[in-house]
Amino acid sequence: MKLKTRLFLSFTLIIILPILMAFALYGFVALGGFRRGGNEMRPLYFSNTVDALTANTDADVNRLKQWSKAFPERFLNREILSDINSSLSEKNSFLVVKQGTKIIFDGAPDGMHPRYSKLPIYGKLSATDVLVVRLENQSGMLREVDFGNYRDHNHGQAFVITPTGSIVPGAGRILLTYVFWMALILFFTALIIVSTLYNSIIRKIRKMQEATENIRGGNLDFTLDVKGTDELSELAGSIERMKNRLRADAMQKIQNEDAQRKFLSNITHDLKTPLTSVIGYSEGLLDGIAPTPEKQMKYVQTIHNKAVEMNDLLNELSIFTKIDTNSILYNFEDINVKGFFGEFAEETEVEFESQNAGFRYVCEVADDTNMVADPSQIKRVLHNLVSNAVKYRRDDTELKVMLLVSDAGEFIQAEVADNGRGISQEDLPHVFERLFRADKARNTQIKGSGIGLSIVKKIVNDHGGQVWATSNEGTGSIFYFLLRKSSDKEEPSEQDSDN
Ligand code: ADP
């Protein structure tokens, strides 16, 4: 469940549950569940205060009524009257007893004395009547029980007075009970909901915290396993993916560093071999061990060849650093496809003839098809592909290479096909990676640094094209690349790119 939904549900529960419970509690109380000593705890207190107040003193008034009939002498006993008065004072009321015209008992607390002269006269008020009287600083409700015989002049009146200035004691209690239960219900509802939420959230947060600590410490060998569909689980999924990415990058970095080390040692070795020859042959010349001009010429030719070999290597190295720093500079031109590839094919054909190899060029695009490209860089692409075909030729078969240029809609497609050793299906996806050399190539004496095809890919991609290859081990390979045709609207442009 989403965190948002869970929070919404919790919020609703926290609001709704206590309200429902409060209703249930009200119903329980209203039905008399808390009834203690008559109906004093009923919610009646909040709706009908006069009834509530009279109900409050009913028990004591009834007692007085019984006495008036059976034990009138008790009205003259101060001790008994004090008892009644203290029972009444619990209910926020008090007792005043008058015999004849004389007040013989006055339970009125300070500040609540009635106007004694204005108290009703004997026999006027029945026990069920309620009279509102003025006390010193507030009003009060008065009930009366008469006792004794008027004719004998032995009569008296007992007044039960309840000041109305303060809240009915029963109502106070019931209010307190309400507040107490509401607070309890609120507390437990909130506790249960918050602890459920906390548990489900905190567990995930702890796991994520542990994971990020691990990542910070460089430990990427762990799995962050957080199940669920909420936002936190999604966050955990992102952390897990980030960690996997970091781990893959770290592995890649180690591999790259390894490959770079190997590349440097290969280049050093490859440079050292022709350099040794240059030193050897030039020393021979200086020492005069080549007596005839023909021999001297041969030595100089060898020195030149070796120097060219070193130059090629250094060029590769320079391109390699340019790729690394993304600083190959391009001079884009609008060039004629047929003319450009035809010129390259002519030069290559001559070279191939001298090496007893066959080179064929087929161009299927219209004569006026142009493309926007840097000719020297595309030449480098073709050169790398063709020299790979030569490098990885089969010893047992005459090498045949074909360059086919065809129309592919918005692009022109060039393919260099050979009948060489081919590349295994396992190595094929990696041949365009920097410093990659297929197992076969690594295990032979064929020199190479593993950057030729990565340069091809970089240049073609920077031209907005694509490059790919198909191959069959033992029968040969085809390398394809696409270059965008120039549209009529596009002016020939010359621009430098730092891609
Ligand atoms: P290098 O030739 O310097 O090793 P490249 O990047 O040019 O590096 O080529 C990468 C790898 O692809 C080579 O080591 C080789 O195994 C394989 N390869 C490239 N071209 C061919 C080809 N025409 N025939 C067979 N294998 C090839």
More confident residue, 248 or 494: 248
Question: 442 C-alpha to center of ligand 1: Å?
Answer: 10
- Average confidence (pLDDT) over 191-203: 86
| Average pLDDT score over residue span 111-130 | 87
**Amino acid sitting at position 197:** L
459/437 Cα distance (integer angstroms)? 19
Please give the distance, rounded to the nearest whole angstrom, from the Cα atom of residue 221 to the centre of ligand 1. 35
pLDDT of residue 96: 96
The pLDDT tens digits for 439-476 are 665 566 677 778 889 999 999 999 999 999 999 998 99
**Site of tokens 């799995």:** 223
Q: Which atom of ligand 1 is nearest to the CA of 389?
A: 23
| pLDDT for residue 277 | 92
In 3-state terms, what secondary structure has residue 103? Answer: strand
Q: How far apart are CA 352 and CA 340, in angstroms?
A: 19
Question: Which residue, by CA, sits nearest to atom 16 of ligand 1?
Answer: 438
How far, in Å, from the CA of 230 to the mean position of ligand 1? Answer: 49
Question: Which of 131-140, 164-173, 228-237 is least confident?
Answer: 164-173
pLDDT of residue 226: 85
Ligand 1 center–CA 450 separation, angstroms:
7
Q: Which residue has the higher pLDDT, 298 or 10?
A: 298
CA distance 171 to 307: 112
Copy the structure tokens of residue 333: 């031109």
Residue 267 has pLDDT above 60, yes or no: yes
Task: Say which residues have a Cβ less than 8 Å from residue 83's Cβ, sequence separation at least 6.
Answer: none
DSSP secondary structure string for all residues of 370-422: EEEE-HHHHHHHHHHHHHHHHHT--TTS--EEEEEEEEETTEEEEEEEE-S--
Q: Which two tokens stand for residue 80?
A: 């008994």
Distance 391 CA to ligand 1 centre (A): 8
Whether 82 has a pLDDT exceeding 90, the answer reads yes
- For residues 184-189, average pLDDT: 85
Residue 493: per-residue pLDDT = 47
Ligand 1 is surrounded, with C-beta below 6 A, by 388-389, 391-392, 418, 420-423, 431, 436-438, 440-441, 448-454, 477
Structure confidence at residue 49 (pLDDT): 65
What pLDDT is stored for residue 499 in this prediction?
38
Q: Residue 212 in contact with residue 224, Cβ under 8 Å?
A: no
- Check pLDDT > 50 for residue 184: yes
Note whether 149 and 17 are within 8 A (CB).
Answer: no
Shortest-distance Cα residue to atom 25 of ligand 1? 422
Check residue 297 and give its pLDDT: 93
The pLDDT tens digits of the residues spanning 10-64 come to 888 888 877 887 787 777 666 654 444 444 445 555 555 677 778 888 899 999 9
Confidence grade of residue 492 (pLDDT, cut at 50, 70, 90): very low
418 Cα nearest atom in ligand 1: 23
Residue whose Cα lies nearest atom 2 of ligand 1: it is 448
Residue to probe by mutation, ligand 1, list 431, 432, 454, 478, most atoms within 8 Å of CB: 431
- From 380, 381, 388, mutation site for ligand 1 pocket: most ligand atoms within 8 A of C-beta: 388
Residue 487 three-state SS = coil
For the cut 60, the answer to whether the pLDDT of residue 496 exceeds it is no
What is the rounded distance in angstroms from the CA atom of residue 359 to the CA atom of residue 122?
143
Residue ID of nearest Cα to ligand 1 atom 3:
448
pLDDT grade, residue 165 (50/70/90)? confident
Lowest mean pLDDT among 222-231, 361-370, 455-464, 484-493: 484-493
Query: What pLDDT shows up at residue 459?
Result: 93
Judge whether residue 133 has pLDDT over 50: yes
> Taking the model in full, what pTM does it have?
0.51
pLDDT of 497 higher than 50: no
Cβ–Cβ under 8 Å, residues 268 and 239: no
- Highest-scoring range by mean pLDDT, 39-48, 200-209, 362-371: 362-371
Of residues 464, 439, 302, the one with CA closest to residue 371:
464
Q: Which atom of ligand 1 sits closest to the CA of residue 432?
A: 6
CA 343 to chain centre: 58
Please give the pLDDT value at position 41: 47
**Mean pLDDT across the chain, nearest whole number?**
86
Quote the pLDDT of residue 378: 96
Position in ligand 1 atom list of the atom nearest CA 436: 10
The answer, yes or no, to whether residue 488 has pLDDT greater than 90, is no
261 CA distance to ligand 1 middle (Å): 19
Which residue puts its alpha carbon closest to atom 8 of ligand 1? 450
Residue 451 Cα: closest atom of ligand 1: 6
pLDDT of residue 171: 66
Mean pLDDT of 216-234: 89
**Do the Cβ atoms of 462 and 497 come closer than 8 Å?**
yes
Q: Which residue's CA is the closest to the ligand 1 atom numbered 20?
A: 388
Distance 255 CA to ligand 1 centre (A): 19
Highest mean pLDDT among 34-43, 189-198, 370-379: 370-379
Question: What band does 111 get if pLDDT is binned at 50, 70 and 90?
Answer: confident
What is the model's pLDDT at position 31? 60
Tokens describing residue 451: 């950057």
